[in-house]
Structures are given as C-alpha cells and as structure tokens.
Amino acid sequence: MARRRGFGELERRTGPTGPSYRARYAMPDGSRHSRNFRTKMDAEAWLARERSLIDRDEWTPPKSRKVAEARREREQAISTVQKYAERYVAERGLRPTTVRGYEALLATRILPYFGAMPLRDVTLSEIKTWRRSLDPKTASSNAAAYRLLRSILQAAEEEELIDRAPPKIRGASSAPVKQEVIPATFDEITAIVDEMPERLKLLIVLAAFVGLREGELLELRRSDVDGVTGRINVARKVDKDANPAVRGACPECGRHISTPKTRSGIRTVHVPPPFLPMLQSHLLEHAAEGPRGLLFPGDRTDHMSARYLMDRYRPAREKAGRPDLTIHHLRHTALTIAGQHGATGAELQARAGHASQAAMAIYQHATLDRDKALAEKIGDTYAKWASNRSEQA
C-alpha cells in the first residue's frame, strides 16, 4: 500500500528476493516519475534529492538524467586521445598487420605528444605543433601517423565525442617520394633468375613479368594455377609479421593468411607464353603435392619465410648490379612493361589488383581475354629479346 508524504509517496512491495520500496512523485505537468529501491532509507533519500532539484529549479526528468550520466561516464572512459585511440584500433575489425602498424605509429609518434590530452583539446594548432616536433627524416611514417590521427578524430566526431575534427592540413597526408623506382631491364631480370635456386626462378618471373606481390606468391597453390594456359587465380596472401595467434592463421605454419585488402586484389592474370615451360617444369619438380600444395613451399612443405627468400634474392640482385631492386620493385617492373605494351589504365588496375574511384568507373573494360592478349604481347617481346641475345652469344 502506498503511503503519502509531504512530497511523493512510498509503496512497500514483497517479492521473491524480499521486500522492496517504490518511490514516486508527480509533476505539475501531469508526468509521473518512479524508482525502485531495496531499502526504505534509499527510497526516501531519492525523493529528498528530487524535491531539492525542484526547489532549486534544476530538475530534469530522471530518465534523461540517467542517459546523460551514462554518456558522461562513457566520455570519461575515452576522454583522452590514448583511451579513445586504443578503443578505435580494437573495435574496427582491422587486419593483424594493420593493427601492428597502427600500434607502432601510436606508440612512437602520436601518444608521446597527445596521449594524456583530452580529445576536445586536440586543435589544429596543436596538430601543427606536433608535426613540427617529428623527425623530418621519417617523412613517410610521419604522414602515416597524421592520417591515423585524423581518422581517429573523425571517428570521434562521428560518435559526437567532439564537436568537430580539426580541418585537414594540405599535404600532411603524403610524403615526398625519396627515390624514383628504376624498373629492371630484361638483362637484369635474366641475371637475377639465373642466380636464383631452381625452386625460386619462377617466383622471380611471376613478380617481374606478371606483377604478383610477395605475399600473394608465397600463398599460391597448385589449384590456383593452370599449367597449360598459364592462368593464375589470385585470391589469398600471406600477411608478413602478423601475430600467429590471431584468427586465420595457417594450421601448418602459423602464418596469417588473408584475402587481398580490396575486392580488386582478387583477380586472374596470365603468365607470358615463353615462361609456360618453366611453369610446367616447376609444377612437376618443386611444388608441394596435392591441389592444396604450395607453389613455393618452405623446407617442410609449409610456407616459405620472407627471410629465406631474401637470403637467396639479395646475392642474386647484387650479381645483377641492382642492389636497390626489392621484390616489390619487380612488381613495379611488371606493370611498367605492361604499360609499355599498350595496357590501358583499367587493364593495369586489373593486372595489379589495385582499386581506386577513378579506376572503378572503367574497370569493366579490363577483361580476362585482354589480360591474356597482354601477356602474349609481353611474351613476344621477351621471346625476340631472348632470340637476339642467343644469337649474339
């Protein structure tokens, strides 16, 4: 039974867990507000606080106060750049390698300056001061750190934790190119292939003439390759330096296997015809057995390590006089060769597995038939070069 008081009323209730008290009151506008308590003392104290708020003209509906209080607690929990940045990285479903990269940028560049700073205090002026404090010798990492900081602040704006992210600083997201990549010549590629172990010669060819990434090459399997047509389906890659404990790790070797970053990374490309005998020989002699067998297995038929590859590639490129040429530069070489043989922008995008807004508008023109024809043109040029080289020798 409810018992009336000077302000509000109390009602004692009996339930499975024992007695409880319901405190309630009405406002002049007819709205009614109530709350349940375990003890009578707590219920009376609540009514007293509500009455005090009304007397001081500070009263707002209890439900709206509860929402505001929850938001204040949430803001307090992520009030600083460090707290919010940690949640930002943890909740976005990022790839393991991306998480590692972000954590490194936070630890070495962003948090030493902004870590304890409240989100709302990160202004354009503070960001400019921070950028001036960074080592100019690490321009690429500085630009990556700025992009990450801006993404964090934009996410905070979307969650209404800050009113507005500071304006973008023109040019801060990119770094000047330190050195232009010089594509390898046929002579240089041939010299490298000649110096590589038999089991790795095809890897260099696929990097330098087809344009596959290192991670894509190390995850290629027999079922991805047609030895007759030279057709290669690219659908997966090995993530270098990923934590082997994360979901998606290879059960045999522990390395993390994932799909390419974008839908365009999943693609079909063709090996130039002059290299089909090498591909077929490799499938017979060096690929692991079975449809799931790796094209370039390690010593135990599991994934080859990047270190194992580089220990053999490094002296080969030195012998060819190109100590600057990385595996990724071989991919750059492949795309340069494709461009020299008439590949359109869309065809280069398709062959490389890149995606951009501009490329997507014409992407439908890059068909498999055109990629095969492009591979044949590259093959014809290589065959003529090889024939002339043989005659001169």
List, by residue number, the catalytic residues: 213, 328, 331, 354, 363
For residue 277, give every residue at least 6 positions away whose Cβ sits within 8 Å of its Cβ, in sequence order, or none: none
Asked if residue 227 lies in contact with residue 237, where contact means CB atoms within 8 angstroms, the answer is no
Strand order in the sheet with 18-26: 2-4, 9-15, 18-26, 32-37
Q: How many CA atoms lie within 13 A of 321 on its CB side?
A: 9
Write the single-letter amino acid at 202: L
- Taking the C-alpha atoms of residue 240 and residue 144, their distance in angstroms, rounded to an integer, is 19
Strands 256-258 and 237-239: antiparallel
- Taking the C-alpha atoms of residue 341 and residue 351, their distance in angstroms, rounded to an integer, is 13
- Taking the C-alpha atoms of residue 309 and residue 327, their distance in angstroms, rounded to an integer, is 10
Write the single-letter amino acid at 347: E
Secondary structure element (H or E) that encloses residue 49, with its range:
helix 40-55
How does DSSP classify residue 217?
H
Secondary structure element (H or E) that encloses residue 232, with its range:
strand 231-234
SS3 of residue 136 by DSSP: helix
